[in-house]
Structure 1
Amino acid sequence: MFEMIFLNLDLSMSATVKDVARLAAVSVGTVSRVLSGVPNVSAETAQRVRDAVEELGYSPLRKRKSVAEGRELLRQQIAVLLLGMDRSLANLPSVASGIHGVESSLSRAGANVLLWDLPYLDKLPDTLASQKLHGLLVKAALQGNILEKADETLIDRLRQLPTVWFLGRPRGIDWGDVVESNDVEVGRLAAEYLISRGHRRVALLDPKPDHVTLGQRSASFTWHIAQHGGKVERVAGKKSHWSLPLQTVNDTNQVEHLLDKVLKLRSKPTALFCPADSIAALVYRCCSRRGLQIGKDLSLISCNNELPLLQGLYPEVTTVDICAEQIGQQAVEQLIWRLQHPSSPCITVSVQPRLVEGMSVADLMRKK
């Protein structure tokens, strides 16, 4: 949720697009996109812009020439950092889409883009220490507390710069804005879809129980299932010692024993919730080994809508699209706003997800 920001605007003069941007707590470019009907703006952000337009009585009758419209970061040095992540994690389709959204938006805004991959966080690179930077866009590993592993001079350097974390903010980080998926809504969409199709005994399979994003989705899913009278059996991996760089779940052995626990539950679940498509793809493989058919013997719903991982799986996976590329684009808009409002409180922007229906969830209501 956004922290409320109150601005004193002089309404005796005709409102400008900059006034709308300040009141809505967005960049001028975002206002332009909303008014132009461009779809890559979250519903929450678009509504704030429309509310600001109405409150100020803004009417874009005259075309104003503004460097801010489309070239807000001209000649600005912006660094994109990947922190504490193994290449397997950085190459996940959702992460890659978020990075692509960041890079394409920075290019359109005219920024000079620098990319640093810091998988170990054990030192401050000389180039990062000496380079003149105007802002940071950061994607970091979300498991454990990376501050415990990071070099202090590196963290001090990051704290000095206007920062936007995208696709989540790690534990222990108390500075910078964040643009992320609305994980409460992700869990709600998954839970209510299963309930609508008659599934009230469900299992939650989570091999990374101390992961920030997966944990938020799982908690929301469990709560919403309970609100509809259902029951969730949580089957999670053990919290283990972790080290940098963090890797993705890419081995069937990591979910094999968890699936066995699900199948041995006394009250057998009719459906399974996987908080990420990378986990769901491994579950499909494990079920195939056991002669189980997803959508018939066990229903499944997942999260992220990572098409490269889902292509070739049958039946097609029902998943929740977190709109990762849009998150990357919105992160750039937030950095532009932050550079214009350096003293404003930190802000969290949540991008609304959407359900993508496949064939992996049986409709038990039709069988009654």
Structure 2
Amino acid sequence: MPKSKPITVVDVARAAGVAVGTVSRVLNHHPNVNEAARAQVLKAAQDLGYKRIRHHRREGDTAPASAARGNIGVLIFGMEDTLVHLPVVSAALHGVERALSTRGENLMLANIPRGDLVPAFLRDGGVAGLILKGPNQGMLPSAEASGLIHAIERYPHVWLMGRLRNARGDHCNFDAFAAGQLVATYLYEQNHRRIAFLNPKPGHTQFEKLQRGFVDAAEQLGAEPAVLSVPPPEELVWPLPAITHEDKVRLLVERWRRLPAATRPTALFTPSDRTAVQLYGALREQGVRVPQDVSVISCNNETSLVSGLNPPLTTVDVHAETVGRRAVEQLFWRIAHPEEPLTQQVLVEPRLVVRDSVKRLP
């Protein structure tokens, strides 16, 4: 039998109908939680069989030398609450949680969609370092303009699965450029020469790296890559939507359909499995069959999202849980080397998962 997936704070939050930050406060015995919410969380944790793993710190382990020793903050901000329920983000947070538990650390989690609050554990110096999951579009406000960013920059921190261009600090992610290259190479090997990247979120740092890797590899192989993108937003206001609106995907399909048959791409690369689910639906509405009429390939390998797709989706496994674990390792390295001036970037190698949504052409 397959091994059951461990229960995480995200699962408890979903079952209790509360924010993940509330679960974190309850499990860390924070007094500032109303009794009804506390009871909901404890009941959900018991019903799900959630267990906090505790291990004694091994001799030689690096640990924060401060009053906050034993506490690490995980801060999610600038995105809608639904972000933490996306399987790829949930898997990365699970990796963080498991890695911290193995080290005997407490996880202090806060979700601040508007980025307009400073959690108590940041104000009070209650953590030794931070794992950050922020938006992947736009720019961070300056520390002078944002109390949250000002507080973040006082601590050692590592960005998780995406870092904006003006953000400071170390970063742990999957290698999105390599993932784009993997996709282009595979499509070329299946004899596709006209291939397209669909971008429903212009300016999205992850999507842009996927696009660059895809286009770079396709051009080197002698294929003809195209990029189909929706118009960029006029303004970005936190919280940003976590899920692409279906109308944007429909617009991309319409643009693809309007291309002359002689130049129309025979394969479409979507930057996320959530978008691929929407793409399947938009193509079906137009009477377009996958893969008979067009091949589809995606990224993230979010099996809970794509398990019902027919045909099964070929995608890239980004090893999100490993990314989360590596982010914790990098944070403890940064805590031990606070004076190291060079920003570190840790990239996890992706892997192609071949299923049935790409047709081999003659």
**TM-score per shorter chain, which class?**
0.7 to 0.9
Matched, 1:285 2:281: yes
Matched, 1:350 2:347: yes
Partner of 1:243: 237
Partner of 2:193: 200
SS of equivalent residue, structure 2 residue 298: strand
Say how many residue pairs are matched: 299
Partner of 1:30: none
C-alpha distance in structure 2 between counterparts of 1:113 and 1:137, whole Å: 10
Q: What amino acid is the match of 1:274? A: T
Q: Is the Cα–Cα contact under 8 Å of residues 122 and 152 in structure 2 kept in the other structure?
A: no
C-alpha distance in structure 2 between counterparts of 1:196 and 1:150, whole Å: 51
Q: What amino acid is the match of 1:115? A: L
Partner of 2:317: 321
Q: Is the Cα–Cα contact under 8 Å of residues 72 and 110 in structure 1 kept in the other structure?
A: no
Question: 1:242–1:150: structure 2 CA closer, same or farther, 3 Å change rule?
Answer: farther
Shift of 1:76: 1.9
Partner of 1:45: none
Matched, 1:88 2:82: yes
Q: Which runs of 4+ in 1 moved over 3 A?
A: 71-75, 148-151
Question: 1:253–1:337: structure 2 CA closer, same or farther, 3 Å change rule?
Answer: same
Partner of 1:139: 133
Q: What amino acid is the match of 2:231? A: K
Q: What amino acid is the match of 2:110? A: W
Partner of 1:226: 219
Q: Deviations over 1:40-80 (max 9, x none)?
A: xxxxxxxxxxxxxxxxxxxxxxxxx95235x8579422100
Partner of 2:358: 361
SS of equivalent residue, structure 2 residue 251: helix
SS of equivalent residue, structure 1 residue 120: coil
C-alpha distance in structure 2 between counterparts of 1:150 and 1:308, whole Å: 41
SS of equivalent residue, structure 1 residue 147: coil
Shift of 1:297: 0.5
C-alpha distance in structure 1 between counterparts of 2:238 and 2:69, whole Å: 34
Shift of 1:356: 0.3
Partner of 2:327: 331
SS of equivalent residue, structure 2 residue 79: coil
TM-score normalised to structure 1 length = 0.77
Matched, 1:67 2:59: yes
C-alpha distance in structure 1 between counterparts of 2:331 and 2:119, whole Å: 23
Gaps of 5+ in 1: 1-64
SS of equivalent residue, structure 1 residue 82: strand
Question: 1:155–1:361: structure 2 CA closer, same or farther, 3 Å change rule?
Answer: same
C-alpha distance in structure 1 between counterparts of 2:69 and 2:226, whole Å: 53
Partner of 2:71: 77
C-alpha distance in structure 2 between counterparts of 1:331 and 1:150, whole Å: 27
82-91 or 121-130, which deviates more: 121-130
C-alpha distance in structure 1 between counterparts of 2:75 and 2:302, whole Å: 22
- Alignment map for 1:32-43 (pairs within 5 Å): none
Gaps of 5+ in 2: 1-56
Matched, 1:121 2:115: yes
Shift of 1:131: 3.6
Alignment partner of 1:252 out of 238, 246, 253:
246
Q: Deviations over 1:225-263 (max 9, x none)?
A: 111111122110111122111112343212101101001
SS of equivalent residue, structure 1 residue 263: helix
C-alpha distance in structure 1 between counterparts of 2:259 and 2:239, whole Å: 35
C-alpha distance in structure 2 between counterparts of 1:353 and 1:163, whole Å: 24
Shift of 1:125: 3.6
Q: Deviations over 1:138-159 (max 9, x none)?
A: 1111111132699522212111
Q: Is the Cα–Cα contact under 8 Å of residues 91 and 321 in structure 2 kept in the other structure?
A: yes
Alignment partner of 1:273 out of 266, 269, 276:
269
Alignment partner of 2:153 out of 152, 156, 159:
159
Q: What amino acid is the match of 2:219? A: A
Question: 1:72–1:129: structure 2 CA closer, same or farther, 3 Å change rule?
Answer: closer
Partner of 1:49: none
Q: What amino acid is the match of 1:248? A: A
Identity of paired residues, percent? Answer: 36
Q: What amino acid is the match of 1:155? A: I
Q: What amino acid is the match of 1:98? A: A
SS of equivalent residue, structure 2 residue 255: helix
C-alpha distance in structure 2 between counterparts of 1:308 and 1:264, whole Å: 33
Question: 1:204–1:150: structure 2 CA closer, same or farther, 3 Å change rule?
Answer: farther
Partner of 1:296: 292
Q: What amino acid is the match of 2:327? A: A
